[in-house]
């Protein structure tokens, strides 16, 4: 089922683009990029990627850079496979018990501190 993406029938009001206050505001936000990773300091965790019936033999290091609601954002040196199940150990609130999660999104980091070496951000949802 396709959704109609055309919103030309929606009126959001008139905007006076010549207003000095609006131009000042637009100049201030020019070049902004939203990359919210929460206010929690990054924390080292261990991950193990599961593929089908097999779980990787070794733990890999990762950084937990955000935990927002039930989503974890991990920074890794390689992208995690989309849809892979990942065992995460060393989470702040889980004690010694590991947590299983599924990779829902992954991309290269865009912050200046993400390069070099390249950092990949991976979003995971607990199972």
The band of 21, judged by pLDDT with boundaries at 50, 70 and 90, is: confident
pLDDT in tens, 70-98: 899 999 988 899 999 999 988 776 666 78
Residue 124 has pLDDT above 90, yes or no: yes
Per the domain annotation, does 121 fall within a domain? yes
Residue 61 lies in a domain: yes
**pLDDT the model gives residue 43:** 87
Which pLDDT score, from 0 to 100, does residue 108 have?
Answer: 82
Residue 122 forms part of a structural domain: yes
Q: In this structure, is residue 27 part of a structural domain?
A: no
- Give the pLDDT of residue 1: 46
Q: What is the pLDDT of residue 39?
A: 67
- In a domain, residue 67? The reply is yes
- Its domain, for residue 70, covers 43-126
Q: What pLDDT, on the 0 to 100 scale, is given for residue 70?
A: 85
Number of folded domains that form the chain: 1
Question: What are the DSSP calls for the chain, one per residue?
Answer: -------TT-------TT-HHHHHHHHHHTT-------SSPPEEEEEEEEETTEE-SS-EEEEEEEEETTEEEEEESSPPPTT-EEEEE--TTTTTS-EEEEEEEEEE--SGGGTTTT-EEEEEEE-
**What is the reported pLDDT for 88?**
92
Asked, for residue 11, whether it belongs to a domain, the answer is no
């Amino acid at each position: 089922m396709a959704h109609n993406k055309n919103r030309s029938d929606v009126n959001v009001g008139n905007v006076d683009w010549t207003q000095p206050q609006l131009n000042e505001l637009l100049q201030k936000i020019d070049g902004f990029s939203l990359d919210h990773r929460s206010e929690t300091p990054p924390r080292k965790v261990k991950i193990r990627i599961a593929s089908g019936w097999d779980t990787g033999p070794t733990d890999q290091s990762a950084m937990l850079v955000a935990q927002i609601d039930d989503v974890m954002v991990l920074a890794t040196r390689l992208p995690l496979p989309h849809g892979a199940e990942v065992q995460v150990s060393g989470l702040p609130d889980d004690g010694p018990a590991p947590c299983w999660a599924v990779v829902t999104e992954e991309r290269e980091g865009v912050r200046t501190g993400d390069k070099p070496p390249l950092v990949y951000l991976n979003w995971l949802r607990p199972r």
